[in-house]
Structure 1
């Protein structure tokens, strides 16, 4: 009898804990629980892809604002919304051109924005604080400016530098201290990394800082990103490089 009682208590505790954890990300009526603002570092992206950047670009770039289902899946049943209409973005077009750049060709950003709208933006508009196309893109810009990532890293003594190593743990701890939230980082493996991996020198594996991801609840408040299993293609090793713009 005692063993049965202990079992019931354990099941109840697990259920309650999971419910409380999930409730931190959820909002009734939405097909998603939280938003991920993904900021990419152009020098890393352009190390493997031919890019055409704006002449004075020197900061993190918006990749997207992604509605997500806890703990890390994409929603699949969003309502239908109007087609992408560039004219609706007229009032924020200048800021989009400088902060949400098509890195492959900065002079042709519309296909990139259109892609993000259809893949993520239409789902995000289920949040009444976003509500429509202009709201989606404007909210992304506001959150990016609020995060002010590059200046924040500089304040903590972390700056882009070629051929210098940055500890992954140091970076994650700095982000936690700066934003009081769990922030995710992804990396892009380098040929140097692959060679060393094959020789099993794991302590010397190198990769380039690729993206930094911030999580927000439907009220657009910064929250801890959920813990996720690391993706072998994007996980960051113990030491990474934060390359400079050319």
Structure 2
């Protein structure tokens, strides 16, 4: 039988152990909180794909999701309110993936020496506390090893160079500014979708994260699509198109990292 005078100490030990397990999982396993269509199963063991999706995410919202997991988490944010790269993803229409195609193509940080300094600015890992270079390693293993069947992406350095090149051309900070969509304001998701289409001439996908307790939604990612020759194309047909954002709620494009208020039950 549990005695009252022992309960506090034992509960403290249990909570401490649970926190340690959570930290280890988040450090070693790249379980990023990414909105997705859960009705679509990822494809593995295939190098067959239709298009490439270039994904940029908004660091302030990425940091929000990281801190939501634990108030002790800290973030590495870029200067000057820049959008950063999430990934370059080979994709079949109406499906997720392929993913993790070639385990023999190992991640080698030394291969990225010529572009490492640029990547640390434009392909930043917002989530402090994870293993060094684990974000880049994850993107290469999950997506790069599948896209390597294309000659322009057939090496680690080529894959990441292409992402940097696309950011220089299709930087969402500039695209949204041209659409008169700026940080610190809220918009309907249709306004964001239409604004990007007006600037780029092609449809995109917009992803949000939502907080049910606060009844708020935040702009998280914007995805644009390319054919295998890297010509910009419409994103119709990709899983989750055109958005997971609520059409009934204003979407906040936060100028600073939103504050998540954790409810602690005693």
Q: Deviations over 1:1-57 (max 9, x none)?
A: xxxxxxxxxxxxxxxxxxxxxxxxxxxx96111111111111112123133214625
Stretch of structure 1 that moved more, 70-79 or 214-223: 70-79
Check if 1:124 corresponds to 2:147: yes
Is the Cα–Cα contact under 8 Å of residues 187 and 209 in structure 1 kept in the other structure? Answer: yes
Match runs of 1:1-246 below 5 Å: 31-49=48-66, 50-54=73-77, 56=79, 58-75=81-98, 78-79=101-102, 81-105=104-128, 109-161=132-184, 164-192=185-213, 194=215, 206-228=216-238, 230=240, 235-238=244-247, 239-245=250-256
Is the Cα–Cα contact under 8 Å of residues 53 and 106 in structure 1 kept in the other structure? Answer: no
Distance 1:124 1:55, change over 3 A: closer
- The alignment yields a C-alpha RMSD, in angstroms, of 2.4
Could you tell me how far apart the structure 1 residues matched to 2:222 and 2:78 are? 23
Could you tell me how far apart the structure 2 residues matched to 1:47 and 1:80 are? 32
The runs of 5 or more residues in structure 2 that have no matched partner are: 1-45, 67-72, 258-266
Is the Cα–Cα contact under 8 Å of residues 175 and 183 in structure 1 kept in the other structure? Answer: yes
Could you tell me how far apart the structure 1 residues matched to 2:107 and 2:129 are? 19
Secondary structure of 1:67's counterpart equals strand
Secondary structure of 1:103's counterpart equals coil
Could you tell me how far apart the structure 2 residues matched to 1:117 and 1:123 are? 9
Could you tell me how far apart the structure 2 residues matched to 1:83 and 1:75 are? 17
Is the Cα–Cα contact under 8 Å of residues 93 and 237 in structure 2 kept in the other structure? Answer: no
Structure 1 residue 76: Cα displacement:
5.2
Stretch of structure 1 that moved more, 41-50 or 128-137: 41-50
TM-score (normalizing by structure 2): 0.69
The runs of 5 or more residues in structure 1 that have no matched partner are: 1-28, 195-205
TM-score (normalizing by structure 1): 0.75
Secondary structure of 1:47's counterpart equals helix
Stretch of structure 1 that moved more, 218-227 or 100-109: 100-109
Structure 1 residue 119: Cα displacement:
0.5
Secondary structure of 2:101's counterpart equals coil
